Amino acid sequence: MAPLPILAKDAVAAGWGSYYYKGPGFQILRHTSVTIYHDQICAMIHRHYGYTPGLQCCSLKRSTGVCSGDSGGPLMIRTGVDRFQQVGVTSFGSKECGGKYPDVFTRVSGYANWLTQGVSSSAGYTPLDTTYMI
């Protein structure tokens, strides 16, 4: 499985969260563009929160980002016209959208084998080509 380079890539985060901490979520799916940071920067900024390089990644774009209630949503990079590859799952961020600290995502590639085994063991699932997973 060849890793897909995501460092300093523009990515898209999506979710149903709220602009306000613990506020009501949106009725439509929202998305925003963010930039993925290097693991060393993320680990330094989030050292008190147990950031795990290689299993997590982080992104930041001032005045935009994941919001309260977006946890579990996708972080995706564009792989072609109208095609995206999910590279992360929203984990945590600031209480407000686009806070001053990077948002943190769990890397899909860190759990790809576990996910494939868990899903394929039920309903006869056949995994997609994972050549470009990070």
DSSP assignment of 91-119, as one string?
EE--SSTT-SS-EEEEESGGGHHHHHHHH
Pairing of strands 74-80, 103-107: unpaired
What's the pLDDT band for 1 if we cut at 50, 70, 90?
Answer: very low
Task: Determine contact, residues 17/25, Cβ cutoff 8 Å.
Answer: yes
What's the pLDDT band for 79 if we cut at 50, 70, 90?
Answer: confident
Residues pairing with 12 in the sheet? 33, 76
| pLDDT 10s digits, 23-70 | 788 888 999 888 888 888 888 888 888 888 778 888 877 678 888 889
| pTM beyond 0.85 | no
C-alpha distances (whole Å) from 35 to each of 25, 58, 71 are 24, 8, 18
Q: How many CA atoms lie within 13 A of 10 on its CB side?
A: 5
Mean pLDDT of 110-129: 69
Percent of the chain's residues with pLDDT above 90: 13
Closest CA to 95 of 107, 103, 87: 103
Percent of the chain's residues with pLDDT above 70: 81
Fold of 10-112: Thrombin, subunit H (2.40.10)
